[in-house]
Amino acid sequence: MNNNKKTVLIGAAALLALGLSFWLPLSKNQQNSDQNNANAVNRTDFTLRPLLLAPLRSVSILATAALVVDLATGDVLYEKNADIILPLASLTKIISSLVLLDRLPLDEVVTISEHAIATEGISVLVAGERYRVRDLLIMAMIESSNDAVAALMEYVAYKENIAPAYRELWFVGQMRNKVLALGASQKIIFYNPTGLDISDRLAGAYGSARDIVRIAQHSFSSPLWDLTRTGTIISQDGRVIALNPTNSLQGSLVQLRGAKTGFTDIAGGNLLVLLEQPIGRPIGVVVLGSTHEGRFSDVALLLGLLRQNTIR
């Protein structure tokens, strides 16, 4: 090989390495680690360097399934395994919350029971405290509080005169009716209202990326999504609670309409983001079966492509 050809090849390799350094920095031990993805998200601010504007078919995300949809037109802007059935984890709480909104006034007050706070997962709720429905829904959506969902389910089932032994079964039946009315497929299924894994092999809910986007599309105007952008709640007993959002992109996305995270051992990392880019153009982005941190970098990458008009 002559010196000119060697020079061209070396130069091309150097440019490629420089371009990749803007988005996928190498670690010493693991090139595709979650930490690298998280660092990439923080540095890029959801834009991609021009050198990386490759054809969409070459885009690589960690998620098993993903879907990006223009919610106004229904146009699919990007999809990967959008119809395969996967565990939903806490994306299930979107449906639980929509059912609760149908049946409970936001300012109605709920007393927290011992049974509710026994639900798996970390929560700041204390038995005997009183909260508005609005505040418990905020906790369910922002902190993904399983106790808050359990307290609301217990309360609404009591109001409907459902016997304690049948409350969860009744409620998941209402959830299924709701999602079918919102355009989800018959394959979507719920075993509990939180999406918590039932065992090492059985998840609490299953559905597809397309199911989740259809539900989001038909609930885009719901007041539920207004409850995903609040940082503090106050109990009816005067206790102030600063919430800890599970969505690490919460403060970084402009024109954010709403979002919900999900993560269990079986499901891996899930994330739904609803936003308007630009205002008046509602976009839904969902990833299923990613990793705990990879769900955020996956969504950031897709939004970066969208902003650069490589997704059309």
Give the C-alpha separation, 311 to 299, whole Å: 13
Q: What is the pLDDT of residue 208?
A: 98
Q: Prior bond to 278 cis, omega within 30? A: yes
Residue 83 lies in a domain: yes
Residue-number span of the structural domain to which 128 is assigned: 33-307
Residue 52 lies in a domain: yes
Residue 131 lies in a domain: yes
Residue 128 lies in a domain: yes
Residue 200 lies in a domain: yes
Burial class of residue 27 (count of CB atoms within 10 Å of its CB; 0-12, 13-18, 19+): exposed
Residue 9 lies in a domain: no
Read off the amino acid at residue 80.
Answer: K
Structure tokens at 50: 């021009």
pLDDT tens per residue across span 69-115: 999 999 999 999 999 999 999 999 999 999 999 999 999 999 999 99
Give the C-alpha separation, 194 to 66, whole Å: 21
* Number of domains making up the chain: 1
Residue 290 lies in a domain: yes
Q: What is the pLDDT of residue 58?
A: 53
Report the CATH number at residue 260.
3.40.710.10
Read off the amino acid at residue 49.
Answer: R
Give the C-alpha separation, 289 to 271, whole Å: 9
Q: Residue ranges of the chain with pLDDT lower than 70?
A: 1-58, 230, 309-312
- 182 three-class SS: coil
* DSSP code at position 40: H
Residue 14 lies in a domain: no
Q: What is the pLDDT of residue 309?
A: 65
Give the C-alpha separation, 238 to 304, whole Å: 42
Q: What is the pLDDT of residue 307?
A: 76
